[in-house]
Structure 1
Amino acid sequence: MAGGTTGALLYAVSAAVLGMLQFGFNTGVINAPRAFIENFIREQNDASPSLVFSVIVSIFAVGGMIGCPLASYLVEKRGRKNALLINSFIGIVGAALMGFSKVAYSVEMLIIGRFIIGINCGFATTASPTYVSEIAPLNLRGAFGTVNQLAVALGMVGGQILGIDVILGSDAGWPWLLGLAIIPSVLQCIMLPFAPESPRFLLLSVRDEEKARIALTKIRGTNQINDEINDMHVEDQAAKEEDKFSIADLFKISSLRTPLLIGIVMHLSQQLGGINAVLYYSVTIFQSAGLEESVARLASIGVGSVLFVMALVSIPLMDRLGRRTLQLVGLGGMTVFSVLMTIAFFTYENNTTMSTFAVIFTFLYVAFFGVGPSSIPWMILSELFNQGARSAAVSVGALVNWFANFVVGLTFIPMSEALDNYVFLPYTVLLILFFLFTFFKLPETKNRTIEEVTALFKN
């Protein structure tokens, strides 16, 4: 029925979110095989294995910083579906380079492959949510939007499970483990040609109403689509009457600068609170807390599993409790458990039960991240800006997020070597600052129109 789910809609969403599954997989998969990759680095050159491994981890985020603006350009020039299809070929190249790096005795291939798969994942984090939000019916847009986060968590858990020693977490298996990133991209190549293009793109960008109607009829499973087409025309007319703002305008105009600053800090809080230190290095963290390597790998699966469960839990809470409340609860919980993690890491040698508590505290830290900070930064800029400034603001937020991701990935190993068991204290200090900023600066956007929110900053 109109406004409901159909086979065509579910097929198109499934094809699109394979890119988000790819993002989750490549975030979590690098964790378990660290020791084997460092041995491979040691065999090929005289560079510091831990430093090169940090580059391998963090170069993924550099690719993401390139992928985001590339996606913004291609989704407008080539369409949502075709942009996703182009990106799937980028993913195949990156996965193949990583998978064949050991056979070629080339650390450089591994680094380049990881960089290219980063482009693919950065591209997906922009293009996939855009496509899904435009084909989903209005009454289900929020629910379908959460599918992206669920796909990320599912990909992360899959990568962590495949990385245990009895599957592919071995000296012989790690190239296969990284190379499996080719599967989501190949599936996208097969599925996307049969998915419909976004009717919104066809109507508002291509200016072909007939094709838009055909696509929308297929997605909705009914020809009762006139109201939705008319809504698109109304939106198009309103957009023409609104002023358009560039990225430079966001920094120049005070009423835009304040919400931009809030959005930037929200994105920084997601990354600089230390979550990717856990996602990229949880096996290393659990080993430093006294667990054997095989047990640490199994424990790391729990990290992705907790994120997956919390993605489900946060869906009904988002509109019930509001963005501001969930963000504060999440940051507050992360602060508490980052302190408890530090205590557990520091005392486990004198009390072996603290190794268990270190794992539990890490899981709870991740759980509070999933309450709000995992998803709210990605949605808050869309709710703080009107149509004319939204695209530029979201682009800035995505770029900041990926840059902060790069910083955490590159610096965690040197920080852990310098600070040892106190490695999470810098993140704790930043979490406290982010909590205070959020408490004093972030307005609640729940049940407020865009006009009401933007009026707060004009005043």
Structure 2
Amino acid sequence: MPVWVAAFSDGGAAWSSSKMSGGTTGPLLYAVTAAVLGMLQFGFNTGVINAPRQFIETFIRDAYEIEDGDLLFSVVVAIFPVGGMIGCPLSSWIAEKQGRKNALLMNAAFGVLAAALMGFSKLASSVEMLIIGRFLIGINCGFATTVSPTYVSEIAPLRLRGAFGTVNQLAVAFGLVFAQILGIDAILGTDEGWPWLLGLAIIPSALQFVMLPFVPESPRFLLLTSRDEQKARLALTKIRGDPAVDDEINDMHAEDRAERQEEKFTVWGLVTDRSLRTPLIIGIVMHLSQQWGGINAVLYFSSTIFISAGLEPDVARLASIGVGSMLFVMALVSIPLMDRLGRRTLQLVGLGGMTAFSVLMTVAFFTYEGNTTMSVFAVIFTLLYVAFFGVGPSSIPWMILSELFGQSARSAAVSIGALVNWFANFIVGISFIPMERALGNYVFLPYTAFLILFFIFTYFKLPETKNKTIEEVTALFKK
């Protein structure tokens, strides 16, 4: 579904024979669909751990004969972003050595193995299998969050690159909603069903593994990395549905010549370059704001949060579906706003709204006892908090680094941002349950404090990059 939304966003150009100006073709849609299944996998495994918490904790207690499974459940949650931190840099290296298509293919096979370990963990009475499976699927998802968007951006026509880029975020939101729907009591949200729920991660990876052999390699990789212009032309002709690809090939050559004249930054070189320190700090803080604003506390633990607000467990799991649905809707809403209102405005609106509703969530949690109305408001405030996250903080941190840095430093900057994002994700996953025990109904106040700091930083430090060239953005920092 998300692919078709983006594909038809250019006003009916779908299925046209695309020349340089570009439109959608069958092979292009097929290739994009195969690639973004990795992002759907990321969304699915972010949301899937939410609903079955109580059943997994029972499984842990029974397996180890202990009274409390909370802390080990935190490990099950937090080991996922640890895998993501490994998957990101690993993917960049393999994608450059083996190509985008082969990297995605290897990652899909890896995802099948991870899903099998999670799915059979209860049958084998092995918590270790569950933890290892979550770790491996984390590597798979970290890998996908780097390679899938890269492949999609490299095969999309220039005028549709932004629209197809949003498919990645839509696929994440769709996977999240799908996991939350399957997690309700009537489907797989049961003591018998939760291993099947986690094991269903095998479907996106298996489907991707079957589809990928029939997609072309990235023409940019073939031309600029493998130096095989004939294969690049063949791949581009297949994707565009038209042999007239000379203009696009010439543009790639021109970009290659320009890049060769620039110094190529490594990650360490970027970190130690004082002239680029300000945009790097801005990018890092943007990624921290996405995670330490508390969004993954909601995505990982919304059922727990809603139960603590007075809802029955089955109702809480139903309410959690609204969280993923809200993200999906806001991903669609934010597409036209991004180039109209600008990155800085949307980031400030998003952080400001999240701050306000995190406070209101705390008030609702604190006053719900004996008051059904406040339980309902707790859910409403949580959904509005998620909605404001979708306005800007959901996508802007991922795009801002590519707009703050030139070609020579962009790859290193994006790698640092992704690593920081996954690390911050890990901190949220491992710390929420201890924080909930210590702070009770005030558990969101630390996130509120961070949101205020991030809002102030963004207001004073983040420049508007809308409709500005890299040279113009760089001049702002020098000024």
Normalized against structure 1, the TM-score is what? 0.99
Q: Give the whole-Å Cα distance in 2 for the aligned partners of 1:86 and 1:137.
A: 26
Could you tell which deviates more after superposition, 57-66 or 347-356?
Answer: 347-356
Q: Say whether 1:35 aligns with 2:59.
A: no
Give 1:243's match in structure 2, choosing from 259, 263, 270: 263
Q: Give the whole-Å Cα distance in 2 for the aligned partners of 1:419 and 1:370.
A: 27
Q: Say whether 1:138 aligns with 2:193.
A: no
- Residue by residue, what CA displacement relative to the aligned partner does 1:237-282 show, whole Å, maximum 9, x if unpaired? 0000011112222222222111000000000000000000000000
Q: Which residue of 1 aligns with 2:187?
A: 167
Q: Which residue of 2 aligns with 1:114?
A: 134
| SS across alignment from 2:23 | coil
- Residue by residue, what CA displacement relative to the aligned partner does 1:143-182 show, whole Å, maximum 9, x if unpaired? 0000000000000000000000110000100000000000
Q: Give the whole-Å Cα distance in 2 for the aligned partners of 1:327 and 1:173.
A: 39
Q: 1:429 deviation in Å?
A: 0.3
Q: Say whether 1:69 aligns with 2:94.
A: no
Give 1:50's match in structure 2, choosing from 70, 95, 110: 70
Q: 1:286 deviation in Å?
A: 0.1
Contact 1:255/1:457 (<8 A) preserved: no
| SS across alignment from 1:398 | helix
Q: Give the whole-Å Cα distance in 1 for the aligned partners of 2:329 and 2:275.
A: 38
Q: Give the whole-Å Cα distance in 2 for the aligned partners of 1:457 and 1:76.
A: 31
| Inter-CA distance 61–55: structure 2 relative to 1 (3 Å threshold) | same
Q: Which residue of 1 aligns with 2:455?
A: 435
Q: Which residue of 1 aligns with 2:10?
A: none
Name the amino acid aligned to 1:103.
L
Give 1:14's match in structure 2, choosing from 18, 22, 33: 33
Q: Which residue of 1 aligns with 2:331?
A: 311
Q: Which residue of 1 aligns with 2:395?
A: 375
Could you tell which deviates more after superposition, 405-414 or 39-48?
Answer: 39-48
Q: Say whether 1:400 aligns with 2:425.
A: no
Q: Which residue of 1 aligns with 2:273?
A: 253
Name the amino acid aligned to 1:8.
P
Q: Which residue of 1 aligns with 2:216?
A: 196
Q: 1:374 deviation in Å?
A: 0.3
Q: Give the whole-Å Cα distance in 2 for the aligned partners of 1:440 and 1:110.
A: 44
Q: Say whether 1:447 aligns with 2:470.
A: no
Q: Which residue of 2 aligns with 1:81?
A: 101
May I ask how many residue pairs the two structures share in their alignment?
459
Q: Give the whole-Å Cα distance in 2 for the aligned partners of 1:432 and 1:407.
A: 19
| SS across alignment from 1:31 | coil
- Residue by residue, what CA displacement relative to the aligned partner does 1:109-142 show, whole Å, maximum 9, x if unpaired? 0000000000000000000000000000000000
Q: Give the whole-Å Cα distance in 2 for the aligned partners of 1:371 and 1:121.
A: 23
Q: 1:46 deviation in Å?
A: 4.0
Name the amino acid aligned to 2:369.
E
Q: Give the whole-Å Cα distance in 2 for the aligned partners of 1:76 and 1:318.
A: 30
Q: Say whether 1:219 aligns with 2:239.
A: yes
Give 2:365's match in structure 1, choosing from 302, 324, 345: 345
| SS across alignment from 1:369 | helix
Q: 1:194 deviation in Å?
A: 0.1
Q: Which residue of 1 aligns with 2:299?
A: 279
Give 1:98's match in structure 2, choosing from 114, 118, 136: 118
- Residue by residue, what CA displacement relative to the aligned partner does 1:371-399 show, whole Å, maximum 9, x if unpaired? 00000000000000000000110000000
Contact 1:250/1:256 (<8 A) preserved: yes
Q: Give the whole-Å Cα distance in 2 for the aligned partners of 1:432 and 1:42.
A: 39
Q: Which residue of 1 aligns with 2:43?
A: 24
- Residue by residue, what CA displacement relative to the aligned partner does 1:44-74 show, whole Å, maximum 9, x if unpaired? 1145300000000010000000000010001
Could you tell which deviates more after superposition, 138-147 or 250-259?
Answer: 250-259
Q: Which residue of 2 aligns with 1:293?
A: 313
Q: Give the whole-Å Cα distance in 2 for the aligned partners of 1:224 and 1:435.
A: 48
Name the amino acid aligned to 1:235.
E
Q: Give the whole-Å Cα distance in 2 for the aligned partners of 1:16 and 1:248.
A: 30
Q: 1:450 deviation in Å?
A: 1.0
Q: Give the whole-Å Cα distance in 2 for the aligned partners of 1:248 and 1:78.
A: 24
- Residue by residue, what CA displacement relative to the aligned partner does 1:218-245 show, whole Å, maximum 9, x if unpaired? 0000011111000000000000001111
Q: Which residue of 2 aligns with 1:187?
A: 207
| SS across alignment from 1:112 | helix
Contact 1:244/1:389 (<8 A) preserved: yes
List runs of 5+ in structure 2 lacking aligned partners: 1-16
Q: Say whether 1:322 aligns with 2:342.
A: yes
Q: 1:350 deviation in Å?
A: 4.3
Contact 1:239/1:387 (<8 A) preserved: yes
Runs of 4+ in 1 over 6 A off after TM superposition: none
Name the amino acid aligned to 2:364.
A
Q: 1:458 deviation in Å?
A: 3.0
Q: Give the whole-Å Cα distance in 2 for the aligned partners of 1:46 and 1:339.
A: 39
Q: Give the whole-Å Cα distance in 2 for the aligned partners of 1:248 and 1:72.
A: 16
Q: Give the whole-Å Cα distance in 2 for the aligned partners of 1:120 and 1:252.
A: 30
- Residue by residue, what CA displacement relative to the aligned partner does 1:160-219 show, whole Å, maximum 9, x if unpaired? 000001100001000000000000000011000000100000000000000000000000
Name the amino acid aligned to 1:51.
L
Q: Give the whole-Å Cα distance in 2 for the aligned partners of 1:163 and 1:319.
A: 36
